[in-house]
Structures are given as C-alpha cells and as structure tokens.
Amino acid sequence: MVIILLNLKAYEQGIGEKAEELARIAGELAESSGSRIIISPQATDIASLSKNIETFSQHVDSSPMGAQTGSILPESAKAAGATGSLLNHAERQISEEEIKSGIERLTALGMESMVCASTPELAAKYAEYNPTYIAIEPPELIGSGISVSTANPDIVTNSIEQVKAVNPNVKVVCGAGISTGEDVRKAIELGSEGALAASAFVKAENPRAVLEDLIGGLK
C-alpha cells in the first residue's frame, strides 16, 4: 500500500496542541479515504498523536537502555505508540553504523524503518541494511515548494532502479517540495511507493484541504 508520511519537523504549527489538531485531521482523512497516512511528530508528541493516527518517530538513537540520559530510544518510541521511525533525515544525519544498528533495532522491535538518502548511490548502499523504506530526498528541494517528482524525476527513477537491484524488498518513497496531489501523482507514476511532505501541510492555512489534495494524488 502506498503511503503519505507527514513530517511535522519542529515547525511551531506542528507542536503540542497544534500537532494534535493536525493528527486529528490526518486521522479523519486516512479513515475516510482508506489511505495509509503516517505523521512524524517530535518525540514528545508521539504518545498523544498516536491516539488518532499512525506515527513514526523523526529519529531514534542507537544508545542502549539503562544508565544514559537524553536519548530517544526505539523502545521508548514504540511504548509511546510509534510504529516506526525516520532515520538519517537530511536535518538529522547519523553515521552509516548508526543507520545499520537503528534498522536492526527497529526491526527486532517489529517496527518499520524509513532511511533518508540524498543520492541514488547512498540509497542503494542503505538498501543493503534492509530497511522497510528508503526515502530519496534531494536536500536542495526540501522546503522549496518545488517537487522532486517534477524538478528531478531522474533521481527518483534512478534510486528505485538501484535500490531494487540491491534489495527488491525495500520500498522506495520520495520527498522534498511535495505540495499538491499532482506532485504525489507524478511520484507514484515514477514508481515511488509513497511520498513525504512537511511544509506544504504543516504550514498551510488550511491543512485539511492540502491533505485532501495530496491524498487525491494516490488514486
């Protein structure tokens, strides 16, 4: 099933009660459309949002449980209700070793992993570690309002080709600048198994209308 992942990042419109309202809207539209919509909030909001919508953490650390302080553990994200996590987002990059151990840890907990990559070559490298998803996101288009599926379709098709050659089990999604249903439709046409969006939804005057439009692109 194709997905839309909505990353709330650290936008002021996506924190606390405002995040709960966005999750309520997304939950209603996920249900009425029968689509898989996932919200990725800050870790502190996972528990409250998970009542209304499927959630992924924005990041998890690879630190062990026990006597250490300040980390976001996969176990904690799961306990709060998350079903998976982003790893290595362009705005929260980690080492290759941490990517590998993060995927292993999430998989062992029965959670999904979505590893972000900036190039098809990195996408193929991370596919060796068997994440659930690779998300191809060219950093220069993030937050631009110019969709990767229109501005750089080759990066999407090349990533899909290279990832599937390494590991056909890994699903490839794309993000950066995705703002409309048409952007989603083009992404799916290119072979993407979903789309990631942030600013167009979180910062919208009417997030419900934006999400309805994005979901329309899945059909």
Name the residues that contact ligand G3P, by CB under 6 A.
7, 89, 137, 142-143, 175-178, 196-200
3 near 173, Cβ under 8 Å? yes
156 or 196: whose CB is closer to ligand G3P?
Answer: 196
Distance CA 80, CA 130 (A): 24
219/24 Cα distance (integer angstroms): 22
Distance between start and end Cα atoms, the chain: 11
Shortest spacing between CB 8 and ligand G3P, in angstroms:
9
Is 59 noted as a catalytic residue in this protein? no
Q: Say which residue the tokens 């990195």 belong to.
A: 122
Catalytic annotation on 89?
Answer: yes
Between 75 and 132, CB nearer to ligand G3P: 132
We find the least distance from the C-beta atom of residue 7 to ligand G3P, in angstroms, to be: 4
Q: What number of CA atoms fall less than 13 Å from residue 34's CA on the CB side?
A: 2
Q: Is 75 or 119 the residue whose CB approaches ligand G3P more closely?
A: 119
Residue 77 corresponds to which tokens in the numbers above? 């994200």
- Residue sitting closest to ligand G3P (CB): 199
State in angstroms the smallest separation of the CB of 83 from ligand G3P.
Answer: 17
Of 14, 4, 68, 126, nearest in space to 76 by CA: 68
Q: Which of 54, 59, 112, 137 is catalytic?
A: 137
Q: Catalytic residues, which ones? A: 89, 137
